[in-house]
Amino acid sequence: MLALVILTVATALVFNFTNGFHDTANAMATTIATEALPPRIAVGLAATLNLLGAFLSVAVAATIASGIVDQTKITVPVVFSGLVGAIVWNVITWYKGIPSSSSHALVGGVVGSVLIAEGSAGVLWSGLGSKVLAPAVVAPLVCGVAALLATRVAYRFTRSQSAESTTTGFRLSQILSSSLVALAHGTNDAQKTMGVIVLTLVAGDQLAPGSGVPNWVKISCAVAVALGTYSGGWRVIRTLGTKVTTVEPAQGFSSETASATTILASTFFGFSLSTTQVVSGGVVGTGLARADGVVHWSVVRRMLVAWLLTLPAAALIGAIADRTVAAFPSDTSGVVFVAVVTCCVLASIFLLARRTNVTADNVLEEIAPTPDEPPIPVPVAG
Amino acid sequence: MTTLALSTYVPADDLARIIVTVLIVALVAPSAASLAIVGFDRRRTGDAQTGNAFIVLGTGTLMLLVSLGIYALINH
């Protein structure tokens, strides 16, 4: 059992790493796009704030899977399979450069493995609706409207100021707002993995039910998410920073401010949101606000399709992993086999990604998007 | 209809509070940043006193918002 627990905890940390590099874009895509910070400095700052954020509070860790799946049905192989579903989907969407939700991938993976292992009684469908689906619909819309409003205010108040002052001022302000998003990401997302590891330790009889989060779990999760963030998900950064719309410093600040406020206000009132979806909504909203701005709807459509697919796709991969583990005579051998296969799949995707490598050096090179339809000019702004 | 269906999953009161908070900050934060930018321009054109006052007010408001954000993060 101990070997099984160790493998699952390691898999959880790998998930946390992928969560970090997938979500670097949330805080820093627009900051990098507007050149408020050089790419490496931006991801370094995001990594540091994610590390700090992971220690700010452990409230999220206590609630991650509760309310979505029946806790009594959770076993170590079920958690492992859920993590495999989340990791594989995260890496696929990273390869495609699509900003999709790591949190939804995690929930999808766990729901899929519970569903196949325990049947539909193991899933709390109303919890899935209230904790995942409803916020997924509302949060990007709220953030989008707020970003639109903030952008118009920013442009209106500074229209008679010099371009130099406006650019410098909003770039500095943007560092502040994107830092807050990075801090919030560390607090929310590192803790989700802490919750998963605690769940594993309890299910594997290594921790008494109701125990707090051990310090080694806090530290390892904080380090994993920070390392992932520092490695920089450049493909997603490119999409969010340059392909959805062309972002100016005032827009970057407005978008990040709206995102940070939506995430923090929701967290304060007890709702766990997908940072990715909120930030994406903010970027679209700020693109709509500028008189000469364009939003590339073909890119937005790809994002929406990925969001719709995240839960079922991660659930399907989680379910396949669970059945594969169950086909082996012992859980440990099944988990080792699935872990090896998963490593091979991930290595293949990373090798494929090297053909069109996106790094800190070329992340902004393709500023002009290549939509499959002409961009739609957007009216507006005073 | 949508609101009714949504309220099954997200309490309407909390949702209203979140929306109001987000919209207020969406107005206040860019106004504060803009005020600081105007302040810098004023200082550059010779009106140092007004410029400094705008900068202090603008950056002070932004810092207050950041502090509230961190408070929300720690005390949720």
Among A223-232, A369-378, B7-16, whose mean pLDDT is lowest?
Answer: A369-378
Query: What whole-number percentage of chain A has pLDDT above 70?
Result: 93
Residue A39 in this model has a pLDDT that exceeds 90: yes
Radius of gyration of chain B (CA): 18
3-state SS assignment for residue A295: strand
Distance between CA A282 and CA A255 in Å, rounded?
5
Pick the range with the lowest mean pLDDT from A192-201, A252-261, A297-306, B32-41.
A192-201
For residue A368, the distance in angstroms to the closest alpha carbon of chain B comes to 27
* Per-residue pLDDT tens over the stretch A121-160: 888 888 888 777 888 888 999 999 999 999 999 999 998 8
**Chain A residues inside the 8 Å CB shell of B27:** 149-150, 153
The maximal CA–CA distance of chain B, rounded, in angstroms, is: 58
Residue-wise DSSP of B13-63: HHHHHHHHHHHHHHHHHHHHHHHHHHHHHHHHTT-HHHHHHHHHHHHHHHH
Over 60: is that where the pLDDT of A369 sits?
no
Residues of B in Cβ contact (< 8 Å) with A173: 33, 36, 62
Q: Place B10 in a pLDDT band, splitting at 50, 70 and 90.
A: low
Per the CB < 8 A criterion, the answer to whether B23 and A259 are in contact is no
Provide the whole-model pTM.
0.88
Instruction: Please return the burial class of A285, using the count of CB atoms within 10 Å of its CB with bins 0-12, 13-18 and 19+.
Output: buried
Task: Give the pLDDT confidence score for residue A136 in this predicted structure.
Answer: 84
Using an 8 Å Cβ cutoff, are A253 and A177 in contact? yes
Out of A149, A158, A180, the one facing B66 most closely (by C-beta) is A180
Q: What is the dihedral of CA A306, A312, A315, A317, to 10 degrees?
A: -70
User: Which residues of chain B make contact with A129, given a CB cutoff of 8 A?
Assistant: 8-9
d(CA B39, nearest CA chain A) in Å: 10
Q: Mean pLDDT, chain A, as a whole number? A: 88
* pLDDT tier for residue A199 given thresholds of 50, 70 and 90: confident
For residue B47, the model assigns a pLDDT of 85
Phi, psi of A140 (to 5 degrees): -65, -35
Task: Give domain limits for chain A.
Answer: 2-142+180-241+303-365
CB contact under 8 A, B35 and A161: no
Q: Write the pLDDT tens digit of every residue in A47-94.
A: 999 999 888 876 655 555 667 888 777 889 999 999 999 999 999 999
Contact by Cβ (8 Å): A286, A368: no
Give yes or no for a contact between A26 and A256, defined as CB atoms under 8 angstroms apart: no
Among A32-46, A77-91, A203-217, where is mean pLDDT lowest? A203-217
Q: Does B60 touch chain A (CB under 8 A)?
A: no
pLDDT at B23 over 90: yes
Furthest C-alpha separation in chain A: 73
Mutate to test the interface with A, among B7, B73, B74, B75 (most CBs of A within 10 A): B73
Mean pLDDT of A253-279: 88
The strand ranges marked E within chain A are 294-295, 376-377
CA–CA distance, A27 with A45 (Å, rounded to integer): 10
Residue A132 has a pLDDT of 79
Evaluate whether A54 touches A24 at the Cβ level (below 8 Å). Answer: no
CB A23 within 8 A of CB B40: no
Q: How confident is the model at residue A378 (pLDDT cuts 50, 70, 90)?
A: very low
